[in-house]
Amino acid sequence: MNEANGCDFPSAAEIPIPAREFVFDTAGDRGKMLNQMRRGASGWVAKVFLGALAVSFVGWGIADVLRSPGTGHSVLTAGDTSVTVREYQEAYQQGLNRLAQQLQRRPNAEEAEMRGVDQSVLAQLTAGALLDEKARQVGLGVSDDGLVSLIQQEQAFRDGSGNFSRTAMASVLRNVGMTEAMYLDDLRRSASRNQLVASLSDGAAAPAAFAEALGTYTGERRTVNYVTLQPTPADEIADPAVDELDDFFTEHHDDYRAPEYRGFSYVLLSPAAVADATAVTDEQVSAYYETNKARFTTPERRQIEQVVFPNREAADKAAAAIAGGATLADAAAAAGLPVADLGLVPRTAIPNAVLADAAFSAAPNVPTAVVDGPFGPVILLAKTVTAEVVKPLDEAREEIRATVALDAANAKVTAAYTTINEALTSGAALSEAATQAGLTVQVVEPIDRSAQTQAGVKIADIPSEATVLPAVFSADPGAETTPVNFDGNSYVFFALGDIVPARDRKMDEVTERVTADWKRDEAQRLVEERAQALAERVRKGETFAAMAEVEGLIVQSANFVTRDSGPAVLGQAGTRAAFSGSQGTTAHGPALASGEAIVLQVAEVAEPADPLSNVAPNLRQSLDDTVREDLFQSYVAALQAATPVSYNFAAINQAKVGVR
């Protein structure tokens, strides 16, 4: 966000153009549609705005938004351009969705306000409205033909053959509750914004001098001599005095605070948990095998080579040469053509049926006759042939039995879920609901967020721990809990048990741990003091080699390290020290390994001969994009200064109430 005239504005990529949402049954469908909708019509700005249009289609609950009251009012006005309540609701819904993805749960109103969702949405809509108003003032727009072209380029509106389909378009729009008029209005506005900002920033790039300076900085290489100092072992450090230990405990008090511990009971409902392979009969196994025989078949594979000829005459000439004893490679060379190796592939890997039939019907190592391919006449050669292999039923029996049992278990999961959910809704305890579903309740003693008990024992068998524990610790005591879904059709129903609140530990509870931590810090202090003293000796005139010899240390060399490669050898702190001065600089700091220290001297400094070669293309692109983004931010700030913007906070508050 950049701040201008008291309003934080989003980056170009954050502006919804405008805010609408596609609704799908699964997250996978949403992601697929998002990928389809993200395309660029012309340059980076088109990618930003048309991509933002696609992003705005992805989310939840557009139907309820469209039915919300007050949709005829404006929440803000920039000049003669207004943003409606409906548009604000849709953008606000998107903001809640993004926050929900971060939190892995639905945020409440207080959390949304604390995270600044409403402010972010208002800034996005303000910036979009300012751009729309400027486009209106200067008369920017897109012709009907241009609009048609944009629509026909949309991947989401293409059929299985890759061609634009009005039926596909109508289906997509119908699924999200949009009319064609609404979609066209959205697209027309995004295209106008694209023209406006593209005229400002297209072709903008970071100065070459900056890129060269960056390349010099990142490409500089140094040879460094260094010694590594080991810390004093903890058992050789005397125990601290009582007052020293007390002071250390007070200074690091929060590190020893006991976390909250929560106990809970849960019911695991998953296909794997309810599957019963013993209930699958041999007849079911045999039937599955026959129905799905292709699954147990490894098809014939052939290593195929092919030569594509420019015309029939050239192909027939090569075929005649092969008939006279020449190899396919010889005939291709005589025609000045390459032999393409398709690799060891099954028939299905060759998309053209005529070529596939020829390749898989030919005798091994015997070139085929000339075959008419989609790109010209072809001669193929099947070299290595791997025969089809079918796994016998007896070898696949147990695998099939488990698969059939798992398929049947999915139906059991659905029935059990309904039973448990209905029982809990009617007020039954989790244990009673589990009994009705024929399942067992597992009880977990109070643990912290890392699944450790108060005794420090790790509980290792919690299903989907990464999703279940956050749900347990975010649940409100006494409130109804929501089952945790994972791995598709698997669920964990849980109920909170004993809760041990977080508290401050007393010194006598953690004396051993505090003492160990004090000794660790003391060892670090001592080794750093020694490193500083040794570096100072070298600075005062003692040679680095002589200092190392007197101290019994081994001098090592890091040759031609850069700021990027140095951390792997010297550590982050050591690399900063190595690049802290010119040739001859002596420095010290923490070493690569924790607890150790390093003393170093810069032996040689070499600047890159070609600085720009050290700036990767993607980094150059990132620099250019940053320049364009800065131009965009400055432009929006200028529009804000020149265009009066008014806000209807009553309508904004009403709009937020209508969003679930």
pLDDT (tens digit, 9 = 90+) per residue, 175-193?
A: 766 788 888 888 888 888 8
- Residues 252 and 275: their CA atoms lie apart, in Å, by 51
pLDDT at 63 over 50: no
pLDDT band at 53 (very low <50, low <70, confident <90, very high): very low
pLDDT at 148 over 90: no
- CATH class assigned to 9-203+626-657: mainly alpha
DSSP lists the bridge partners of residue 586 as 601
**Which among 636, 656, 640, 659 has a CA at the least distance from the CA of 648?**
656
**Which among 171, 153, 130, 180 has a CA at the least distance from the CA of 10?**
130
Percent of the chain with pLDDT over 70: 88
Average pLDDT over residues 640-649: 91
Percent of the chain with pLDDT over 90: 50
pLDDT at 96 over 90: no
Q: What is the pLDDT of residue 660?
A: 63
Query: What 3 state SS string does 311-328 have?
Result: CHHHHHHHHHHHHCCCCH
Question: Which stretch of 85-94, 148-157, 492-501 has the lowest confidence by average pLDDT?
Answer: 148-157
**Dihedral sign for Cα atoms in the order 99, 104, 107, 111:** negative
Domain 300-387 has CATH 3.50.50.60: no
Q: What is the pLDDT of residue 8?
A: 53
Average pLDDT over residues 50-55: 35
* H or E segment to which residue 376 belongs: strand 376-386
Average pLDDT over residues 292-321: 92
**Tens of pLDDT, residues 216-251:** 999 999 999 999 999 999 889 999 999 999 999 999
In this structure, what token pair is assigned to residue 239? 């125990």
Cα 10 from chain centroid (whole Å)? 21
Average pLDDT over residues 398-426: 87
DSSP string, 570-588: HHHHHHHHHTSSSTT-EEE
